[in-house]
Amino acid sequence: MKNENKKHSALHEKDVISATEIISSNAVAAIQIFRKKQPTSEELIEGILNGNISALSRAITLVESTNASHLAKANEVINACLPHANKSVRIGITGVPGVGKSSFIEAFGKHLTGLGKKVAVLAVDPSSTISHGSILGDKTRMEELVKDPNAYIRPSASGETLGGVARKTRETITLCEAAGFDTILIETVGVGQSETAVHSMVDFFLLLKISGAGDELQGIKRGIMEMADAIVINKADGDNIKKAEMAKAEFNRALHLFPAKKSGWTPKTSTCSALTHKGIPEVWNTIVEFLKLTKENNYFFEKRKEQNQYWMLETINEQLKTNFYNHSDIQKLLESTKKAVQNDEISPFAAAQELLEMYFKK
């Protein structure tokens, strides 16, 4: 029995050794495969410029990464893509949840690919960290577009701040354009500040609405209406057609009360149905008209220049803020300084000044 045990344990020992060997050789192989799978910047750039979707997706993941070591590689890829970007139309689409954004993008996107366009669909949803992507998360309403080889759909980047999410989307636009996408649709939820961020990265801003009970203008933020280049009343089908037409007339009247736009464009209102596709081609025709006008009067190009400058300044603001609050000395002092300010021991301005001076002296 004793002998048998010994034999058993000897066998066991041998087994353990060989198992360890297998595991470690597998681990090395796995690491080698993993390393091989991590493309270099050059490979990514070449892939993107050749329209390779997996290279594009990997580069976007790099841009979205919070890992500091990925930043340099991401910047290298973006810089190489820049000369190949810019040849697109960027369209922002907003509307409250349930208005039919996903359904509209599916119908509109299919219409565009039918015209021979290459369509990328992106989203700005700063809440996606919590809700795990409330928009573009539900791909069931984009069933056809998902399968379309000329369409690329990417859910919102996650992030703690709108600024961070927006910056990542802004860079993703560059990558998609370099990969040959000529029409970029950027969806955002019609709540909060995200419309302003999307508005500052698109050429054309479309507000999607549905008809209500005759009080169309209630609850709609003036700022959002002012940003809109077109207001499209969706779900104009079945019993709803008449109500949608009435809503259209009401929005039209309201839009005429706003001052003329710098673009020289008069915002248009129309109705459509994402379900029956009625009115969908007309939305694209409106955008074509807008592009013709704003390219002729140069507004299109001037606005893009302004937007580039805006994103540089935004990135500086965002980076400075992040660095400041993440600085260990500031973190150590911030809580006690907040208390001192609450107790009137120091004025808020003097306290801010002290912290800032300390930070910049470092």
Binding region for ligand GDP (CB under 6 A): 95, 97-103, 141, 234-235, 237, 273-275
Shortest Cβ 146–ligand GDP spacing (Å): 14
> Which one, 98 or 219, has the nearer CB to ligand GDP?
98
Rounded Cα gap, residues 324 and 288, in angstroms: 45
Shortest Cβ 98–ligand GDP spacing (Å): 5
Rounded Cα gap, residues 14 and 83, in angstroms: 60
Residue number of the CB closest to ligand GDP reads 100
Three-state SS for 167-205 is HHHHHHHHHHHHCCCCEEEEEEECCCCHHHHHHCCCCEE
Shortest Cβ 354–ligand GDP spacing (Å): 47
Shortest Cβ 237–ligand GDP spacing (Å): 5
Shortest Cβ 234–ligand GDP spacing (Å): 5
Q: Which amino acid is at 298?
A: N
> Which one, 211 or 294, has the nearer CB to ligand GDP?
211
**Among 266, 272, 124, residue whose Cα is nearest residue 202:** 124
Shortest Cβ 122–ligand GDP spacing (Å): 14
> Which one, 108 or 265, has the nearer CB to ligand GDP?
108
Rounded Cα gap, residues 77 and 59, in angstroms: 7
Shortest Cβ 36–ligand GDP spacing (Å): 39
Helices of type H across the chain:
2-37, 41-49, 53-64, 68-81, 101-114, 128-131, 143-147, 162-178, 194-199, 222-227, 241-255, 280-296, 299-326, 328-342, 348-361
> Which one, 101 or 167, has the nearer CB to ligand GDP?
101
Could you tell me if 56 and 176 are in contact, meaning their C-beta atoms sit under 8 angstroms apart?
Answer: yes
> Which one, 227 or 232, has the nearer CB to ligand GDP?
232
**What is the dihedral sign for C-alpha 74, 77, 82, 87?**
negative
- Rounded to an integer, what is the distance from CA 173 to the centroid of its chain? 8
> Which one, 101 or 199, has the nearer CB to ligand GDP?
101
In the block, residue with structure tokens 């965002």: 318
> Which one, 194 or 273, has the nearer CB to ligand GDP?
273
Could you tell me if 287 and 270 are in contact, meaning their C-beta atoms sit under 8 angstroms apart?
Answer: no
